[in-house]
Amino acid sequence: MKRTTGVNRLIKAALLGTTLAFAPMMHGAMAEDAPGQIRWDLSDLYPSVEAWNATREQVLKDVAAYSRFQGNLGKSAAALADALDEVNRIEKELARMYIYTSLGSDEDLRDAKAQERFSQARTTYAEFGRATAFMAPELLTVGTKKIEGYIKREKRLEKHAFFLRDTLRQEKYTLGLEAEGVLANASEVTGGAGNIYNLLTSANIAWPTVKLSTGEDATLSQAGYSKYRAVQNREDRKLVFDTFWQTWKNYEATFGQTLDTLVKGHTFYAKSRHYPNALSYALSGPNIPEEVYRTLVKSVNESLPSFHRYLKLRQRMLGLSDMRYYDIYPETTALDREFSVDDAKKLTLESLTPFGEEYLGLLKQGFDADWMHVYPQPGKRSGAYMNGAAYDVHPYVLLNYNKGFEDVSTFSHEWGHAVHTLLSRAANPYETYSYRTFTAELASTTNEVLLQEHLLKGDLSDEERLYYIDRALEGIRGTLFRQTMFAEFELKIHEVVEAGEPLSGEKMTAIYLDLLKRYHGDAEGVMKIDDLYGIEWAYIPHFYRNFYVFQYATSISGGTMFAERMLNGDPKAQSDYLNVLKAGGSRYPYEMLKEAGVDLASEAPYQTIVARMNRLMDEADAILTRMGK
Ligand SMILES: [Zn+2]
């Protein structure tokens, strides 16, 4: 899911230390390639570390000199254009300078020199953030009337118009100078909740160790839990669940306090700025209507019978007489097939033929170039991402390719982000090429759906067919149902605070347990949820990201709708889809998707994905019957 484009996100990540966590430093370690490693070419960014360093020094000078624009934004149209041209010029170079170090450090997190450069890049970003912090408030003081006049008169402001209007949109929610100062200072206090949570969960909890039936001692840290919750022995899974969740339960009051503080912070800002509620404040940035969030929650609740059907299907595949919450993770199918990187390229190209020649041409260009770092190796950052922040260069893709089907899926996903970046870059100036999360994950999940459907079209054994179906269904469970359940929880705890009622860890557990039971059909006898598991909310770090997770669910739904339209021969589907990718950040994501026929405030996308899910389950049922299961 990871993806990086756009400087604002980079700045935030750098300043908050969220997605780009600090790595442990070890001296004397050198980046060494695994045999046969396929690697990216960072010299496309800078020919040498010296050249990078010279750029960094120049950027620091430019940043320091930027204060000359302060107080001048409202002097004339030309003065405003000068200031905006310069800030974008610096930002573009800064982004390139930054990714050179972040990619370099991800190759080997133990490389102290690379870490040091990365840290220098982050410091430069922080400087940039401070030097340009005056802009938004000053633009708001200049006001819409004057700036609209400037945009009409000055041709150079054309490419800045979206940014200017987007900033001015906040006008009616902006307070007086003194109040704004207080709010700005308060952010250091309100940001504390997330920091305390991170510290507690990463450093302070003593993770328990259990002995599994195999004799293995399993330490149930977060990573250990992810691994051992999927073991095939059911008693072991129960032991893992009961022990892990009891550990979190011991901190119920503490995590309740941190999350309550966070929620109170959100409602404090929403109220201070006169937003009707915390949700509308959170969605105001990307300008997404509240209706999207509420329709998603409503539609998914209406589709719970389909989800219950899926849980029963899992039960059938696992051969169990009843289902418990700890039966969610073990694999029910296996695939005895390896996919080389060439296979991944071939399958990606074949499956994406509905996108047309322009898209496929860009994909081939990327495959033939040195844009990706493919295999795992000691010290390399785990996971996968696309980084498209170097506007004048090309996207970079990091993978940890292991030849499984999931790796092919991730491969296609990340290249979906890469081609999105290429299309947006070709169609937009730097100022508007960076797109929002709301559309970004759609450009990658569509690829995953098309890959699954492409494989399922083949002549497969029942076992292999069932495997792909199972992967697709698991994706829908984890991305549509689970994330929407999270989204509903997030909304509920904010509503409790907004209603002036007290919120505590105990109350959060009660709210979460109620959702867990409803989603998983506890009352209908589909899956029994033990009360202890109601503490799961405490384990989800995404609740500290302010109404973020719902976008996973909207993306997979919108992506599925596009994929289905293409596969069903809708003649407009291809151009609609490409138009969304090409629009980049030149427009608001909700609006452009709506125009492309995917209205995420309507029920259609959610009904489409659930219909696909039911179709897949019909096929799985038929296969299981054939197999005599
Ligand atoms: Zn992604």
Residue 8: predicted pLDDT:
40
Q: How far is the CA of 386 from the centre of ligand 1 (A)?
A: 8
At 351-390, the pLDDT tens digits run 999 999 999 999 999 999 999 999 999 999 999 999 999 9
Q: How far is the CA of 541 from the centre of ligand 1 (A)?
A: 18
Q: What phi-psi label fits residue 584: left (phi over 0), alpha (psi between -120 and 50 degrees) or beta?
A: left
Residue 181 — pLDDT band, cuts 50, 70, 90? Answer: confident
At 134-150, the pLDDT tens digits run 999 899 999 999 999 99
Q: How far is the CA of 382 from the centre of ligand 1 (A)?
A: 15
Q: How far is the CA of 76 from the centre of ligand 1 (A)?
A: 42
Q: How far is the CA of 240 from the centre of ligand 1 (A)?
A: 30
Task: Give the predicted TM-score (pTM) of the model.
Answer: 0.91
Residue 20 — pLDDT band, cuts 50, 70, 90? Answer: very low
Residue 10 — pLDDT band, cuts 50, 70, 90? Answer: very low
Q: How far is the CA of 443 from the centre of ligand 1 (A)?
A: 8
Q: How far is the CA of 413 from the centre of ligand 1 (A)?
A: 6
At 466-477, the pLDDT tens digits run 999 999 999 999
Residue 190 — pLDDT band, cuts 50, 70, 90? Answer: confident
User: Residue 469's closest CA among 306, 619, 314?
Assistant: 619
Q: How far is the CA of 351 from the centre of ligand 1 (A)?
A: 18
Residue 32 — pLDDT band, cuts 50, 70, 90? Answer: low
Q: How far is the CA of 352 from the centre of ligand 1 (A)?
A: 17
| Residues, CB within 5 angstroms of ligand 1 (ion) | 1, 3, 444
Q: What distance in Å separates the CA atoms of residue 546 and residue 18, rounded to the nearest whole number?
A: 13
Residue 191 — pLDDT band, cuts 50, 70, 90? Answer: confident
Q: Which domains does the chain have, with CATH numbers?
A: 6-17+41-174 (1.20.140.70), 253-272+275-333+436-629 (1.10.1370.20)
Mean predicted lDDT score pLDDT of the chain: 92
Q: What distance in Å separates the CA atoms of residue 220 and residue 224, rounded to the nearest whole number?
A: 5
User: Residue 481's closest CA among 448, 521, 444?
Assistant: 521
DSSP string, 113-124: HHHHHHHHHHHH
What token pair was written down for 522? 């506890």
Q: What distance in Å separates the CA atoms of residue 194 and residue 604, rounded to the nearest whole number?
A: 36
Q: Which residues are catalytic?
A: 414
Residue 461: predicted pLDDT:
96
